[in-house]
Amino acid sequence: MSSPTTLVSRYLIGLQDRITSAVALVDGGRFVSDRWKKPKGELLQGQGITQILEGGEVFERAGCGFSHVSGPRLPPSATQHRPELAGAPFEAMGVSLVFHPRNPHVPTVHMNVRMIAAHPAQGPSVSWFGGGMDLTPYYGVQADAVHFHQTCKNALDPFGVDKYPRFKTWCDEYFFLKHRGEQRGVGGVFYDDFAEFGFDGNFAMMRAVGDAFLDAYLPIVDRRQHTPYGERERAFQLYRRGRYVEFNLVWDRGTHFGLQSGGRSESILLSMPPLVSWSYDRTDPKGSPEERLTREFLVRKDWL
């Protein structure tokens, strides 16, 4: 019988392949696959597969990474809610992706599913799961936000009708730029440190989230990828991408976990857009599509 970590690892590698194959068909380009390994003797050991598509017709940069690593001590970012495990040896595995489309009318998307297992000197091993997905539009469309949230809800409802509203709120609270006082996007679902169902139930819910991603995102890409745009929309897209970079570097626990634990920088920073800009004290005209994004979409609301 396969071990729990082997079952999770097999699922994650298959999920990565399914997602990148589907996205390559949409784009017409191909993902480059980079298999990497951190050798013994380093702070963090393990291996992974980074798949990346750059300069595509639809996606300017699309990165999807799988990693399975282990280390001698859990970093602080992983034990905020589990202080009794601070310093324990651990292994972590997951799939994380961020897709940055070329057309400003197609939203950027993020998805991550993962498991962490700690092996304390005293007592049995402890595992917990996390995951979720969120949507970051540059030009907001109500129907897109509704579709994305409904797909997330449909995936989670079999595990309890409380899960979507609970994880939706968690997503809103997590993907919030405190220094800007604004949401990163229209949200989605997010959960972390989850161990309420036992291994089988926790793993099943993680699979439900991962399996829902393509249904949540690709219909939006199909509807928006041919929308005309010009220099104005492109400039706004690059400006808003700056907020994405700020969140990932300043607030994201996954980025902090990877860097604090000695992870592979290229894979950790896979989420960064290829081009980005910042403007000092930008103000958009009231009623413009750009102003509406902040006023109507970068706010916490019930999309369903």
Each residue's pLDDT tens digit, 82-128? 667 777 788 889 999 999 999 999 999 999 999 988 877 777 778 88
Q: What is the DSSP letter of 294?
A: I
Domain residue spans in the chain?
A: 4-275
Mean pLDDT of 159-173: 97
CA distance 114 to 78: 12
Beta bridge partners of 176: 183
Q: Is 149 a catalytic residue?
A: no
pLDDT digits over 30-58, tens only? 999 999 887 665 566 888 999 999 999 99
Residue 12: which of 213, 227, 294 has the closest Cα? 213
Mean pLDDT of 236-253: 87
Quick check: 5 and 94 in contact, CB under 8 A? Answer: no
Residue 251: which of 174, 192, 162 has the closest Cα? 174
pLDDT digits over 208-218, tens only? 999 999 999 99
Q: What is the CATH topology of the domain spanning 4-275?
A: oxygen-dependent coproporphyrinogen oxidase (3.40.1500)
pLDDT of residue 78: 65
pLDDT of residue 258: 67
pLDDT of residue 267: 66
Residue 10 clears pLDDT 90, i.e. is over it: yes
Q: Tell me which of 68, 105, 110, 147 is the catalytic residue.
A: 110
pLDDT of residue 17: 97
